[in-house]
Amino acid sequence: EPIDYGNIPGCIYTSPEVASVGMTEQQAKDAGYEIKVGKFPFTASGKASAGGNKDGFVKVIFDAKYGEWLGCHMIGDNVTEMIAEAVVARKLETTGHEIIKTIHPHPTMSEAVMEAVAAAYDEVIHL
């Protein structure tokens, strides 16, 4: 099976960390996609609040027509640990609705991914 270079995560180990996979919002628009974008700030995360570092966010980009997960971008503490959910979901061609319906433990930083996806579909509950 050929390597999908578009699904290799990029991680920058700085403070704060940066992690991404897939297209940016602009790249998706330039490619002709009609998109849904969701963003979840860590200021709304119970785990981030408890840990004392609420700087950062998760941003997701989906194809509005078919629900394909086009990209995911994160900034904040430990986001290089969180990007794998997006990489696996993209590899398995998971839809946004499948992510929303998947139980994410609470409170965790990983639920910020689910909340960003829910924001893209106007189903976010913690904002």
Express each pLDDT in 38-54 by its tens digit. Answer: 999 999 998 998 888 89
- Is 106 a known active-site residue? yes
pLDDT band at 124 (very low <50, low <70, confident <90, very high): confident
Kindly name the residue from 97, 104, 106, 126 that is annotated as catalytic: 106
pLDDT digit string (tens) for 58-107? Answer: 999 999 999 999 999 999 999 999 999 999 999 999 999 999 999 999 99
Q: Judge residue 42's burial from the number of C-beta atoms within 10 Å of its C-beta, 0-12 exposed, 13-18 middle, 19 or more buried.
A: buried
**Residue found by looking up tokens 């570092």 in the block:** 53
- All domains of the chain, ordered by start, with CATH? 9-120 (3.30.390.30)
Q: Is 75 helix (H, G, I), strand (E, B) or coil?
A: strand
CA distance 65 to 55: 32
